[in-house]
Amino acid sequence: MARLFYTLLIYLCLPLILMRLLWRGRRAPAYRRRWGERFGLVESLPDTRQVIWVHAVSVGETIAAAPMIRRLQQQYPERIVLVTTMTPTGSEQVEKIFGNSVEHCYAPYDMPDAIARFLKRVHPTILVIMETELWPNLIHACHRRATPVVLANGRLSEKSAAGYAKIEALARPMLGRLSVVAAQTQADGERFLQRGVKESALEVTGNIKFDLQLSDTLRQKAAALKKQWQGSAARPIWLAASTHRGEDEIILAAYEQILKHQPDVLLVLVPRHPERFAEVADLCAASNYHVVRRSTLQATESELSDKVQILLGDTMGELLSFCGASDMTFVGGSLVDVGGHNLIEPAAWGVPVLSGPYLFNFTEVSRLLGEAGGLAICATAFELAEQVLALLTDADLYQQMSSAALAVTEANRGALNRLTTVLEKQIYPPPAQVSSRY
């Protein structure tokens, strides 16, 4: 009954959903395209080959899923890997990372008719969902078709668990239908059990984001960017990554204080969402900073002008290389109640990591980095400025934080191997289960 009311609500809200796509399309035109895919009108895949469906909502989940997807391609070359996202930026990331080696489209909205059309055309033999993107009708439809659903790199914060508790009649049956939950931590796993996941379905595999691999090509790109941005004066570079509305003002206030003591610091400011690029550029200009957009900076330019104070990161898919080009990185979504973004990416480069206090999406990662001394949490512009200045003037502190951040990432690798073992049991179940699933 709860799922019926939920479904009716989605259909009633459909005009608002479409209006939101149009509204977002004002600044990001890609939101106005490919609507058919969102209603299950996708190109049919050949039924002669089995399909592994991986769903990653947007950019962050796609990057996190990339090593797992590559492993699946290596282990099951005879199968088609379909990767779906919900955002244009996620779609761009899939194409950038995998090209035409995977199939790709948007996932359907959680409406029974859209899901039915999608499943009929795609006929997946398994669905792997990254992290938290759980939809009642989708999971119900897969369950009815005996299609295993695996939640990979699953996390459930206390805040999200409390939210599920408020809609228990809807959430508990949905969670109970998951074939496997590969949770990041034991605490995540316990919260999943409390909310309805079967004990036999729970595996604690760790966080696959720790298995991030920095290729030689990526390292070379980061080194080239750093050389270009630093210039001959070797100016310090502070990266503020994945910022949200309400954070940019705090970052700029901290930067103003930093410049009073270190006037040569370059701030690389990267908003989380592309539709905010122009807004943040205007905000920086209104504060009388000399701003240059990354998209206008030519690769042939040997170095950035020392007059530039802020480099606005207005391109997609480059943030990981930006982390490697910076001397220290602030990770956004943490000065406002968003829950934080990926702390592991800068830590993997061995640079000090800074953050605000809202970290419920990365509770365990922030705990590990904080206890090791690789993360500094700053709640205000003043605290942020003080921490940046301390790192710029205290070489021992800088080295300690850098080494600690890198050590944490190295010590927590291995989740990918554990996760792929879990997936193998679902892709090739024991003989007794074959007839019931395929």
Residues with catalytic function? 61
Give how far Cα 5 sits from Cα of 1, 136, 137, 270, Å.
6, 12, 12, 40
Residue 202: both structure tokens together = 């729970």
> What contacts 24+ positions apart, CB below 8 Å, involve 340-344?
340/366, 341/60, 341/241, 341/242, 341/272, 342/60, 342/63, 342/64, 342/209, 342/242, 343/369, 343/375, 344/207, 344/209, 344/210, 344/212, 344/409
Paired with 293 in beta bridges are: 312
**Residue matched to tokens 């610091």:** 265
* Greatest Cα-to-Cα distance within the chain, rounded to the nearest angstrom: 71
Q: Which long-range contacts (CB under 8 A, 24 or more apart) does 425-429 make?
A: 426/126, 426/148, 426/150, 426/179, 426/180, 427/52, 427/76, 427/125, 427/126, 429/148
- Describe the crossing of helices 415-427 and 59-75 by its angle, rounded to 10 degrees: 60
Write the CA distances from 165 to 10, 71, 171, 188, 282, integer angstroms. Answer: 20, 35, 8, 15, 42
Residue carrying structure tokens 């720790």 = 210
